[in-house]
Amino acid sequence: SLPSVMCLLLLPGDVRVRSQVGFESERRGSHPYLYVDFRGLVLAAPSTESVSPWGCRCCRPLSFQRRLAVSPSLLCPSSRLTLCFLDDDYAGQAKCMLRKVGSWDFDIFLFDRLTNGNSLATLTAHLFNQYGLIELFQLDVIKLYRFLVLIQEDYHSHNPYHNAVHAADVTQAMYCYLQEPQLSSSLTSCDILLGILAAATHDLDHPGVNQSFLIKTNHHLASLYQNTSVLENHHWRSAVGLLRQAGLLEHLPVEDRQNLEMRLGSLILATDISRQNEYLSQFRSHLDQDDLNLQNSAHRHLVLQMALKCADICNPCRPWELSKQWSGKVTEEFFNQGDIEKKHGLEVSPLCDRQLDTVPNIQTGKMY
């Protein structure tokens, strides 16, 4: 029953302790980085604390959202978990919207309001149900609940763009691509599981600043991943950390579980915009040679990578009312980064100057 599920969700094991080294506590309703002294990060002596390469929460949490507090979703079931993720008693309008989840004009902003801010968890759970993944992979429903709450909470609501609503939007777009007849007839259940998981976690724990910012401020993540696909590596390792923390796949053989984790990483790493040409060239080569074979697992994986890349930057292809909102959100996040850079005497990154850049010139020639 739902009450018993709620009680299990509130078990102490879900209390995550976050380090506050180098960070001030967050101000509610403000951008978290406006109060961070990044010069302190640059000058800080390197930590001797060991860091798990997977970003495991039990070693040293890599979350940017450091706080010594219980997840709000786990503390306040009455306000945050009023919608039953997998049961039939959805709020009426939200349930009606899910009947059209494969529609390209799906309004994720309205859906997020109708689900009381639980759009990512609700949508992902619905897709798991729709594809029968719970039965196919013999998933523990309580562990799935826990995992969905954890990933939703690891997105930062302070970020205007890279937040849980963006992840839900990408997940819905990914579902649209997975439903394409030629692709859907070739996908295995494992392909579908990975596609949904990768979309839901592809920007997990995004700090609201880009890779170049992390590198020039000598952030520990830039050092950890040697300035290469820094954010994407962090999203992947964070996703694996939460999968292990929730124990969602722990019943699978070790070899299968590790294979799923690696393939999940391959999908998330494909969203690195700096490697765009690499994937496009590979895809175009197959198209030019007309040798793309969806019965080949490697070829299907490449198509999933391309689908996730397209889902990640599909905002301009949405109906105008949705696209316009996304444009405003992504430019606001850029400007927030520029404000931080100015505050700390750093060179302002391209497209991040609130005084010089505008929404139109940022959009010109770019998929935002």
| Active site positions, annotated | 162
- Helix/strand/coil for 359: helix
Token pair for 291? 């040798």
Distance set, CA 289 to CA 220, 282, 335 (Å)? 43, 11, 43
241 alpha-carbon distance from chain centroid: 13
Residue 163 marked as a ligand binder: yes
- Phi, then psi, of 355 in degrees rounded to 5: -85, -30
Ramachandran region, residue 273 (left: φ > 0; alpha: ψ -120 to 50; beta: rest): alpha
Return the number of other C-beta atoms located less than 10 Å from residue 282's C-beta. 12
The rounded distance, in Å, linking the Cα atoms of 277 and 234 is: 22
- Residue 61 parent element (H or E): none
The span from the CA of 166 to the CA of 58, in Å, is 27
Chain centroid to Cα 187, Å, comes to 22
Report how far residue 308's alpha carbon sits from residue 314's, in angstroms, rounded to the nearest whole number. 10
Q: Which of 273, 301, 265, 272 is nearest to 286 (CA)?
A: 301
Residue 363 among known ligand-binding residues: yes
Backbone φ and ψ for 301, nearest 5 degrees, come out as -65, -40
Q: Which two tokens stand for residue 124?
A: 């992902």
Query: What is residue 206's DSSP assignment?
Result: -
Residue 312 CA, chain-centre distance (Å), reads 10
166 is in an annotated binding site: yes
Distance CA(278)–CA(353), nearest Å, equals 29
Q: Which DSSP state fits 115?
A: T
Annotated binding site for Zn(2+): 166, 202-203, 312
Annotated binding site: 162-166, 202-203, 312, 363
